[in-house]
Chain A
Amino acid sequence: MARHHVTATVNGDPVEFLCETQQTLLEVLRDELRLTGTKEGCGTGDCGACTVTVDGRLVCSCLVLGVEARGKSIQTIEGMQTGKELHPLQRKFLEHAALQCGICTPGILIAARSLLERNPDPTEEEVRYWLAGNLCRCTGYHKVVEAVLDAARELRGG
């Protein structure tokens, strides 16, 4: 089976890769580009562990084909910090102990950043509903929501 040649941008860097027709963007990120920060929890778009953005839009990368990335700009967890500066969300997650095993954390951080870019002052309910597509089994979501609200406060200059 001939593979497709794809060029795209990942975390601001130009990339190119070969992929089979049925390979998902998640598989491409992890297996072809060796960016293993994005995780597979279910492969069927139900858990959110594979959350990335494609041209600014939040998606489950397990539901996007590798070929669909052609010409698009993808953001993964690896691009969240700026140089050695962690994003405020990353810092707040550490301060609030908003992670335990950490497997859901990359997906939640990407999703939370997307929320705060659209809505800098979300209510608790808005945070919870926005993150409803990101399953976490360890924390019960309590400290996750606290961390997101605190990061929002800091980003607003509070």
Chain B
Amino acid sequence: MSTMMKYEQKALKVVGTRPLRPDGVDKVTGRARYAADYNLPGQLIGKVLRSPHAHARIKSIDTSAAEALPGVKAVVTREDFPDLPVEYAASGELTINFHDVTRNMMAREKVFYDGHPVAAVAAISGSIASKALKLIKVDYEVLPHVIDVVEAMRPDAPLLHEEQYTEGVTPKPDRPSNVAKRMVFARGDLEAGFKQADLIVEREFNTKPVHQGYIEPQACLASYTEDGQAELWTATQGHFVFRAQCAKVLQMDVSKIRVTPTEIGGGFGGKNNIYNEPLAIALSRKSHRPVKMVMTREEVFRATGPTSGANVKVKMGCTRDGRITAADAELNFQAGAFPGSSVAMASMCTFTRYDLANVRVVGNDVTVNRPKVAAYRAPGAPIAVFGVESVIDEMAKRLGIDPIEFRLKNAAREGTRTYYGPTLGTIGYVETLERAKAHPNYSAPLGPNQGRGVATGFWFNIGNETSAALNVNEDGTVTLVLGTVDVAGGSRASMAMMVAEELGIDVDKVRPIIGDTSSLGFNFITAGSRGTFASGMASVLTARQAIEKLRQRVARIREVPVDDVVWKDGWARPADGCVKPFAPMSLAEIAKVAGKTGGTIAGHAEINAQGAGPGFGTHIVDVEVDRLTGLIKIVRYTVVQDVGKAIHPAYVEGQLQGGTVQGIGWALNEEYVYGADGVLQNPGFLDYRVPVASDMPFIDTVIVEVPNPNHPYGVRGCGEVPIISPMAAIANAVESAIGIRLCEQPMSPPRVLEAIEADKARSGARA
């Protein structure tokens, strides 16, 4: 039976306050241990040989010279890993195919991108390992490559997978294609809808791949011993998922791999998948020593999982008073080397903010010669929304309707049926629009070359498999063992707060830790804004189970019926109107005698959390455009978002601010630049330009709380929604500022200047 818990409105003591985070002191003193900070005696350093070609057949690999180099203890290639048949499993981008996972981790027949692993070595030092890589001879047959998604969809494009026929097309095509899958979500009568429209706007948008940009490169340490057991320390968003994937690709029992998630230096979806981990375990198995593998920044850019670059076509029609009558979109997403981009999820949140009768979204998942896509905060949504919220802005402006008013006229509300199926429950979209409209940012005066833009976003949020355990220590303090990695947001503190609230004790008395894979039942990755929602639900269940046991224990100790015992504010007390009143017992008193009266009091929960509540956000941005340099400056930014319940308001603010700034970076500067040879030209932070402190103003946050009816504290989760709106909001603001609509991302200075010049030429031609 799946678990869904109802929201309980009540006075709160701990939830909603701002205690210091338990991992904080270690992080400000440099004591916190991230994956690269771990070392084991006798460890070797592992390094990876990567393809220099975007697309090539591997004719042969000769590792003999590398193996002979003194100091090299093991070399692995495709020969060391079994080929796996097509088989699916859940991951961050939904389903992954193990046939592809094993090929992405170590190339087999072909290399599909600049950076694709071809071999790995373990040696007694990093410099010897690097020398060994140079001695490995790989004979490549270089093939033509394709990276741009539109080019890859053409019938004559270079083909990555000869056996790939577009799924979702009937009848089955007779020629293979880079389009791995085509999907259509549709409702109503699009043609009739466009006929009803007084205004039709049609635009095309193009975006480049961007990277999650976590400051900590992937790192892992593996130790495989002769009894077939492996220990792995790694930076991961999901140690149970990593265990499952490693077990599969290495053909090991799941119980023989113990994964400890280290403190993690950012993930954002990019650390949902294995990269070096199985290589490190295999090298350790072969060398009989622990193997440590730390990626360089260049490897992170070249060979982990940037998000899709895309081509998006949007066509929408509305009446002259602003009611949308038809909405049509085509999303063409790069999947990278293997199928499986987030185009399906993006297709489902393209128009979900609006109540529409006639809708169609066509999504294409396209394989191209760049790294396999990994999830990135609300995967795919920012791209689709860039298109849709820009077109909506254009429609509103052409009709002279206020952009927030326009959205309110069409807004999805409770009871709105989505175009992909389910009906929306209690949601806070309208609330965010109204709070944005009332915010001082919306009426702040603007100067020359300044403009204001609005855009909105939606993400489903998820629950999934989650386990937690709570133990009452002998002195009445509590240890809470969680299985959802605290990827940064501070979720472990929020879980401790919920448990403290339930037990009626000080939050300082609850110590939350993240357990390794041997300590708990399965936990899905921390992604999908699910950490505080699902682990919170599990934590509350552990506390309630413990309370049940406490009541029963006190009933036996005090020799009263259990119905006469109530738990209140950290004490077991006599219920009102009970026959035999007894002396209350505090948690500490019960804990002191627990051992002698039956054993430790504990609670645990293993659930599949259902009832995740969708999140909506409205962003307002004021920009200033420098017409001489093309620089777009963010003058003012306000984020309004419904989070259900802010367990710890400062952490929620942090998520809103952090996600927004990632979205701003995506909008303004970030992009993968590939040369004509298919090699990545900017695999470093100098030329892959993420936002720096001087780029940003303070980001004003407004937390809206429309409780999720399916969580005891009303939590919806909040981490993903903030990244969705900035691209469109900024494009809309630029249009307001200088009258030019940018449809290419990033809106970097050269592109802005190009657009300004083109606009001048057009008006010059007209004049």
Interface residues, chain A, with chain B CB atoms under 8 Å away: 20, 22, 30, 35-44, 46-47, 49, 76-78, 80-81, 86, 90, 93-97, 99-106, 109, 124-125, 127-129, 131-146
Tell whether B699 is near chain A: CB-to-CB under 8 Å. Answer: yes
Selected contact of A103 from candidates B127, B265, B294, B654, CB within 8 Å: B265
> How long is the Cα–Cα vector from A47 to B215 in the complex, in angstroms?
8
Chain B, residues 642-683, CB within 8 Å of chain A (1/0): the string is 000000001101100111111000000000000000000000
Selected contact of A97 from candidates B36, B651, B692, CB within 8 Å: B651
Selected contact of A102 from candidates B18, B27, B294, B653, CB within 8 Å: B27
Selected contact of A105 from candidates B28, B659, B690, CB within 8 Å: B28
Contacting pair A137 B684 (CB below 8 A): no
Known A-B contacts A101-B266, A145-B693, A145-B698; the reply to A138 vs B654 at CB < 8 A is yes
Contacting pair B127 A20 (CB below 8 A): yes
Tell whether B527 is near chain A: CB-to-CB under 8 Å. Answer: no
Known A-B contacts A42-B297, A81-B29, A138-B266; the reply to A97 vs B214 at CB < 8 A is no
- With most chain B CB atoms within 10 A of its CB, the pick from A41, A90, A105, A137 is A137
Additional A-B contacts beyond A93-B28, A103-B214, A103-B265 (10; CB < 8 A): A97-B651, A100-B489, A103-B216, A131-B694, A132-B694, A134-B693, A135-B692, A140-B699, A141-B696, A146-B698
Tell whether B613 is near chain A: CB-to-CB under 8 Å. Answer: no
Measured CB to CB, the closest approach of chain A to B113, in angstroms, equals 21
> How long is the Cα–Cα vector from A137 to B655 in the complex, in angstroms?
11
- With most chain A CB atoms within 10 A of its CB, the pick from B23, B693, B694, B696 is B693
Residue of B nearest to A134 (CB): B693
Measured CB to CB, the closest approach of chain B to A98, in angstroms, equals 9
> How long is the Cα–Cα vector from A99 to B28 in the complex, in angstroms?
8
Which residues from chain A contact B18 at a C-beta distance below 8 Å?
97
Contacting pair B658 A139 (CB below 8 A): yes
Residue of B nearest to A129 (CB): B694
Contacting pair B654 A90 (CB below 8 A): no
Which residues from chain A contact B658 at a C-beta distance below 8 Å?
100, 137-140
Contacting pair A97 B699 (CB below 8 A): no
Measured CB to CB, the closest approach of chain A to B64, in angstroms, equals 24
A-B pairs, 10 with minimum CB distance: A37-B30, A103-B265, A102-B27, A140-B661, A77-B30, A101-B488, A46-B685, A140-B657, A100-B488, A97-B650
- With most chain A CB atoms within 10 A of its CB, the pick from B27, B36, B662 is B27
Contacting pair B693 A128 (CB below 8 A): yes
Tell whether B213 is near chain A: CB-to-CB under 8 Å. Answer: yes
Which residues from chain A contact B28 at a C-beta distance below 8 Å?
86, 90, 93-94, 99, 102, 105-106, 109
Contacting pair B20 A41 (CB below 8 A): no
Contacting pair B693 A144 (CB below 8 A): yes
From DSSP, what is the main secondary structure of chain A's interface residues? loop
- With most chain B CB atoms within 10 A of its CB, the pick from A22, A49, A140 is A140
Number of interface residues of B (CB under 8 A): 57
> How long is the Cα–Cα vector from A131 to B657 in the complex, in angstroms?
17
List 17 A-B residue pairs with CB atoms under 8 Å apart, sorted by A's residue number: A41-B265, A41-B297, A80-B30, A100-B658, A101-B488, A102-B265, A102-B488, A125-B694, A129-B694, A136-B215, A137-B215, A137-B266, A137-B658, A137-B662, A139-B654, A140-B696, A142-B657
Which residues from chain B contact A132 at a C-beta distance below 8 Å?
692-694
Contacting pair A44 B686 (CB below 8 A): yes
Tell whether B296 is near chain A: CB-to-CB under 8 Å. Answer: yes
> How long is the Cα–Cα vector from A92 to B27 in the complex, in angstroms?
13
Measured CB to CB, the closest approach of chain B to A142, in angstroms, equals 5
Which residues from chain A contact B691 at a C-beta distance below 8 Å?
140-141
Contacting pair B213 A137 (CB below 8 A): yes
Measured CB to CB, the closest approach of chain B to A29, in angstroms, equals 10
Selected contact of B34 from candidates A39, A138, A141, A146, CB within 8 Å: A39
Measured CB to CB, the closest approach of chain A to B727, in angstroms, equals 16
Contacting pair A41 B215 (CB below 8 A): yes
Which residues from chain B contact A80 at a C-beta distance below 8 Å?
29-30
Contacting pair A78 B30 (CB below 8 A): yes
Tell whether B31 is near chain A: CB-to-CB under 8 Å. Answer: yes
> How long is the Cα–Cα vector from A97 to B23 in the complex, in angstroms?
11
Which residues from chain A contact B699 at a C-beta distance below 8 Å?
140, 142
Selected contact of B487 from candidates A99, A101, A131, CB within 8 Å: A101
Contacting pair A142 B696 (CB below 8 A): yes
Contacting pair A76 B30 (CB below 8 A): yes
Selected contact of B490 from candidates A37, A40, A100, CB within 8 Å: A100
- With most chain A CB atoms within 10 A of its CB, the pick from B20, B23, B296, B488 is B488
> How long is the Cα–Cα vector from A36 to B287 in the complex, in angstroms?
26
Contacting pair B24 A94 (CB below 8 A): yes
> How long is the Cα–Cα vector from A40 to B219 in the complex, in angstroms?
11
Selected contact of A140 from candidates B26, B268, B660, CB within 8 Å: B660
Chain B, residues 475-503, CB within 8 Å of chain A (1/0): the string is 00000000000011110000000000000
Contacting pair B698 A142 (CB below 8 A): yes
Known A-B contacts A109-B28, A132-B693; the reply to A102 vs B263 at CB < 8 A is yes
Contacting pair A99 B30 (CB below 8 A): no
> How long is the Cα–Cα vector from A36 to B219 in the complex, in angstroms?
14
